[in-house]
Amino acid sequence: MTLRRRTLLTTFGLTAIGTQLLPIAQTNLSPKSPIVKPRRLQVGDTVALINPAAFNYEKEVQPFFKVMEKLGLKVKLGEHFYDRYGYLAGKDADRAADVNAAFADDSVRAIFTGMGGWGCARILPLLDYHIIGNNPKIIMGFSDITALLLAIYAKTNRVTFHGPLGASTWSPFTVNYVKKVLFDGGAVTMENSKNVQVQTIGRGTARGKLIGGNLSVIAAMVGSVYLPQWENSILFVEEVGEEVYRIDRMLTQLKLAGILDKISGFIFGQCTKCEAEKPQESLTLPQVLSDHIRPLKIPAWYGSMVGHIREQFTLPIGQEVEIDADSGTIRLLESAVS
């Protein structure tokens, strides 16, 4: 997949809403507030493809259209999808407008995102959380899209999905989990391929709401009003192109912010291209994870199929799950879609 994350720092009309809008709070909701699930996908549905972060070259998303066609879905492009403003997919107001319009459009059943890179955090204050909250829909992506997914969950208590981007590879493994979670709505168990090993940090099982995404994006959001509450959650993170000392620094930030002390379980996915420039002068990633996570005495492991990789899970943010750190599995306790 082509994500350009390190290089980048890697037509909807507003449909009239016939029913009265419910009051969706602009402040973060309590973790005890009822979670709302989007409707599952069905053959014949129309999905939106928008770009809330970095820009796409047209060739990068051509495989996405073919996959959607095979899944029986029609694709509607955001009005500003191919816009470009430096490394961003257009001006902030226009990218935010495409997000709002996709949620307001009654013909759209799910929202996919084209590229990660950087840019989602810039548009969070411009989103209409009333429209989003009153029109629960599948919205999916990863990398920089983490900011969008966590903000929507924090502000509306709507399940969002950490999964492939429009520019992702969409391997059979990846498509299979998209179908199981978004179409079939099963209580899926996420389990690594046999050739992808996990390293247990803390043994045992735990239950909680699954929350997470790209580590550097989460760390950059600390102190903002767009992060959810972390009590009794299962935190998952992934990273790309960051040296080990930077991973250490970001985990330290989560520790100092009190986040790590609140979670019930921890999953580190894949850290792609995270080798130290001078290995002989560096801690290893397993050492850093052990230093930060083992003292928490919670179930935890490293190596889940989450991140900037060819084959990846579809993870519902806000959904109750049970994890097993010995086997490295994530089990949905119920369907993530209605």
The set of catalytic residues is 143, 238, 308
Q: How far is CA 139 from CA 257, 264, 291, in A?
A: 28, 25, 34
Task: Supply the DSSP symbol for 135.
Answer: S
Q: Which distant-in-sequence residues (6+ apart) come within 8 Å of 35 by Cβ?
A: 157, 158, 159, 209, 318, 319
* Ramachandran angles phi, psi of 156, nearest 5°: -130, -10
| Neighbour-count burial of 64, counting CB atoms closer than 10 A to its CB (0-12 exposed, 13-18 middle, 19+ buried) | buried
Q: How many CB atoms lie within 10 A of CB 233?
A: 24
Residues in the chain: 338
* Residue among 336, 248, 321, 232 nearest 289 (CA): 248
Sign of CA dihedral 131, 134, 140, 146: positive
Q: What are phi and psi of 221, to 5 degrees?
A: -90, -10
Q: CA angle 227-230-236, nearest 5°?
A: 85
Distance of CA 67 to the CA centre of its chain: 20
Q: Tokens for 222?
A: 């600390």
Of 32, 35, 22, nearest in space to 337 by CA: 35
